[in-house]
């Protein structure tokens, strides 16, 4: 089908109707949000225990337990739980050595938290392009860009145009699909950059058998209400480096020196500790993650089948060699058919199915417009043709695709 087909509003409307009826065939008639949490395990029980014992806040056993269970699940040697994913990124960047005045390579296509965290360090985000297939930072584009603007001086990478040091890169695993970590690690190595992974969206996603967030010097997770599992609000720093983990714990807990009663602090710290009541929720949620992941995979299969005959678009699948958590199901329109997006968004939302475009690219936000950037042809093209559709765990039960007997009732 060529692009002229959609010069007609009539045909755009017809195709949007096909999309909505495909969604309806999979998840039924009831309205559906984009990603709603599900509390069907020990949530009440553990949260009640916090209330009954009064340990709702910064002391309690659930924080330690949640940290060690996230470590066991991801394979990271150390985990530090914090108030949210943005705070986790802030601390990870600081501890990786990002200094005021530095530049940090971040995807133009990401949620705003990635670039904000760089700014909190007094550094400047430097936006780079993404890959068409996994929507993650593109190692080929980043290498080309660094060859053109970067310069290694005694093992330190500088931006020849701005004169600033480029100290790190922060790839992000978009909608739960792992970025090309081998390619990115190799660029980071060749240009002497620290690599910190924003794995906020990819709990449960693996790249060649290893959990996302465990490849860089540090990785970060989010447990916000719309993520794969939630603690209400929450985040975590993952690292295999014992000293970095100790530092992360210390500065996220006001840099207080351990003592039975005295308040002594040995540097400026942050009050970023995850409260016990949130960790209690997290422990209960993590117990159900296998069921959640199976449900999301089933939902993907059903959508993929339902969309297979609709022209001009495809459902984003997991990259080769990877296992995605399918956090948000994503329709990608063909480049020539981007003009369909608004009609689909309108028709789906009117029908009660939440559908959203991807984030505005970071360099188009007012406060980031002066930041340095590479050419962004793919990010700019993809921005206009990605649509997220209802992706909640609970939808797998609602649509009768419970092939795996998921007990989602």
Ligand X SMILES: *Cc1c(COP(=O)(O)O)cnc(C)c1O
* Residues near ligand X, by CB under 6 A: 84-86, 110-111, 113-114, 172, 198, 200-201, 222, 224, 235
Assess contact for 176 and 184: CB atoms under 8 A. no
> Is the Cβ of residue 47 or residue 362 nearer to ligand X in the bound state?
362
- Name which of 146 and 358 has its Cβ closer to ligand X: 358
Q: How far is the CB of 213 from ligand X (least distance, A)?
A: 12
Measured in whole angstroms, the distance separating CA 73 from the mean position of its chain's CA atoms is 17
Closest approach, Cβ 60 to ligand X, in A, equals 21
Cα separation, 323 vs 336, in Å, equals 29
Closer CB to ligand X, residue 196 or residue 293? 196
Tell me the closest approach of the beta carbon of residue 5 to ligand X, in angstroms. Answer: 34
| Strand ranges of the sheet holding 210-211, from the earlier edge strand across to the other edge | 210-211, 206-207, 322-323
Residue closer to ligand X by CB (options 227, 250) is 227
In whole angstroms, give the CA distance from residue 98 to residue 268: 16
CB 369 within 8 A of CB 363: yes
Closest distance of CB 148 from ligand X, Å? 27
Q: What backbone torsions phi and psi does residue 124 show, to the nearest 5 degrees?
A: -115, 125
Measured distance CA(253)–CA(324) in Å, rounded: 33
Using the structure block, give the residue that is written with the tokens 């053109």.
148
What residues form DSSP beta bridges with 198? 172, 220
What is each CA distance from 165 to 102, 143, 217, in whole angstroms? 5, 16, 19
Minimum distance, C-beta of residue 87 to ligand X, in the bound complex (Å): 7
Specify the residue, 157 or 172, whose C-beta has the smaller distance to ligand X: 172
In the complex, what is the shortest distance from the CB of residue 198 to ligand X, in angstroms, rounded to a whole number? 5
| Measured distance CA(255)–CA(316) in Å, rounded | 43
Q: Which is nearer to ligand X, 24 or 84 (CB)?
A: 84
- Residues paired with 106 in a beta bridge: 127
| Calpha distance 299→283 (Å, rounded) | 25
Residue 119: both structure tokens together: 């700014």
Contact indicator for 368, 334 with CB cutoff of 8 Å: no
Of 117 and 340, nearer to ligand X (C-beta) is 117
Smallest gap from residue 50 Cβ to ligand X (A): 21
Least separation in angstroms between CB 93 and ligand X: 12
Q: Which one, 328 or 331, has the nearer CB to ligand X? A: 328
Whole-angstrom Cα distance, residue 238 to residue 64?
14
Least CB distance to ligand X at residue 259 (A): 31
- The token pair that represents 42 in the structure block: 């020990």
Q: Which residue is nearest to ligand X (CB)?
A: 85
- CA distances (Å), origin 289, targets 41, 233, 281, 286, 377: 11, 17, 13, 5, 36
Nearer CB in complex with ligand X: 73/359: 359
């Amino acid at each position: 089908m060529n692009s002229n087909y959609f010069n007609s509003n009539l045909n755009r409307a017809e195709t949007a109707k096909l999309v909505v009826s495909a969604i309806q065939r999979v998840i039924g008639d009831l309205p559906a949000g984009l990603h709603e949490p599900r509390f069907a395990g020990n949530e009440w029980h553990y949260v009640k225990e916090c209330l009954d014992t009064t340990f709702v806040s910064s002391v309690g056993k659930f924080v330690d337990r949640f940290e060690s269970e996230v470590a066991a699940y991801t394979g990271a040697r150390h985990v530090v739980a914090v108030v949210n994913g943005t705070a986790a990124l802030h601390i990870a960047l600081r501890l990786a050595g990002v200094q005021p005045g530095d530049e940090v390579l971040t995807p133009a296509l990401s949620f705003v938290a990635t670039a904000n965290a760089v700014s909190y360090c007094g550094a400047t985000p430097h936006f780079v392009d993404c890959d068409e297939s996994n929507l993650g930072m593109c190692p080929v584009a980043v290498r080309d860009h660094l060859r053109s603007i970067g310069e290694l001086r005694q093992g330190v990478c500088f931006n020849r145009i701005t004169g600033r040091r480029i100290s790190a890169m922060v790839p992000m695993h978009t909608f739960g699909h792992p970025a090309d970590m081998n390619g990115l690690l190799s660029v980071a190595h060749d240009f002497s950059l620290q690599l910190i992974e924003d794995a906020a969206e990819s709990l449960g996603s693996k790249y060649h058998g290893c959990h996302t967030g465990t490849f860089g010097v540090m990785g970060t997770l989010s447990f916000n209400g719309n993520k794969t599992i939630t603690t209400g609000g929450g985040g975590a720093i993952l690292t295999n480096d014992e000293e970095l983990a100790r530092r992360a714990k210390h500065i996220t807990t006001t840099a207080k020196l351990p003592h039975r009663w005295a308040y002594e602090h040995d540097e400026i710290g942050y009050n970023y500790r995850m409260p016990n009541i949130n960790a209690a929720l997290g422990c209960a949620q993590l117990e159900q993650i296998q069921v959640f992941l199976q449900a999301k995979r089933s939902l993907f299969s059903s959508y993929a089948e339902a969309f297979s005959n609709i022209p001009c678009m495809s459902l984003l699948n997991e990259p080769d060699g990877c296992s995605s958590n399918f956090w948000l199901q994503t329709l990608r329109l063909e480049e020539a058919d981007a003009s369909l997006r608004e009609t689909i968004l309108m028709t789906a939302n009117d029908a009660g199915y939440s559908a959203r475009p991807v984030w505005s690219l970071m360099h188009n936000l007012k406060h980031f417009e002066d930041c340095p950037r590479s050419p962004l042809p793919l990010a700019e093209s993809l921005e206009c043709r990605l649509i997220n559709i209802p992706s909640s765990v609970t939808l797998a039960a609602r649509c009768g695709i419970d092939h795996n007997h998921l007990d989602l009732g």
